Amino acid sequence: MTVSMAIIGGTGVYDPNILSNIRDETITTPFGETAVKIGEYQGREVAFMNRHGAGHSVPPHLVNYRANIAGLKKLGVKTILATAAVGSINEKMKPGDFVFCDQFLDFTKSRAQTFFNGGEHGVVHVDVTDPYCPDLRKIMAKVADELNLSYHQGGVYVTTEGPRYESPAEIKMFKMLGGDLVGMTSVPEVILAREAGICYATVCMVTNFGAGISENPLTHEEVLEVMNKNAENLRKLAMGTISALDPDRECYCHTAVEGPMHELLKG
């Protein structure tokens, strides 16, 4: 059985009662090792990857994004549904809402953003006109409609370095630049997925308003509280999307970069 679908994030999504025949697997890549849980759901194998490690022990700026995406590619994954807790800088996107973002602004500073740094594997200039797979976002919206969830189709995800939260001045700047959401993980994950030829979409759950918009100082406990309240909806959305996906579907995302990734992983 091929593992063609993966969920990255874990918070509020992974539930052993959903899956059967769960096993842990460690994957070795040229960028290091990564760990996944693999289980069966409705006759399909699904990989779950905890982006921040056990006990949320890895901060966003130190996540080994390249090992994570390369590991899923080695498994044969063709579609990634990522989950993310985000702050909102758009008053229409309220805490508890889901957002299927369609663009990003990158304000990270120190992260490896490509698999290809020259040498024998060459240089790759990947197209990110539609970084978050439009086809996958349409499927998620259909599932969300069926579940009667509050969601927004489209939004600009501003990725910051973290792990600190943003200042009110930064939030004001991001809003002026057209940002809707602020988080710490979408870049380079979305870029690496495109280089790897994997469909990728993010389900953003708004947990709070950004600094200067929110009336209170931001806390990680606040984020977890909203995530926990909406965990069941997030779980239903994720698993409903898996059910709606054709495992044999073809997409532009799969051929955006052909050849180099296969050769790189052989090394």
Over the stretch 156-179, which tens digit does the pLDDT of each residue have? Answer: 999 999 999 999 999 999 999 999
Q: What is the DSSP letter of 196?
A: T
pLDDT of residue 119: 77
- Whole-structure pTM value: 0.93
What is the per-residue burial (b if ≥16 Cβ within 10 Å, else e) of 192-228? Answer: bbbbbbbbbbbbbbbbbbbbebbeeebeeebbeebbe
Q: Is 35 helix (H, G, I), strand (E, B) or coil?
A: strand
Neighbouring CB atoms inside 10 A of 167's CB total: 12
Over the stretch 53-110, which tens digit does the pLDDT of each residue have? Answer: 777 789 999 999 999 999 999 999 999 999 998 999 999 999 999 999 999 999 999 9
Domain chopping of the chain, boundaries: 3-258
Fold of 3-258: Rossmann fold (3.40.50)
CA 188: distance to chain centroid? Answer: 10
Task: Give the mean model confidence (pLDDT) for residues 41-50.
Answer: 90
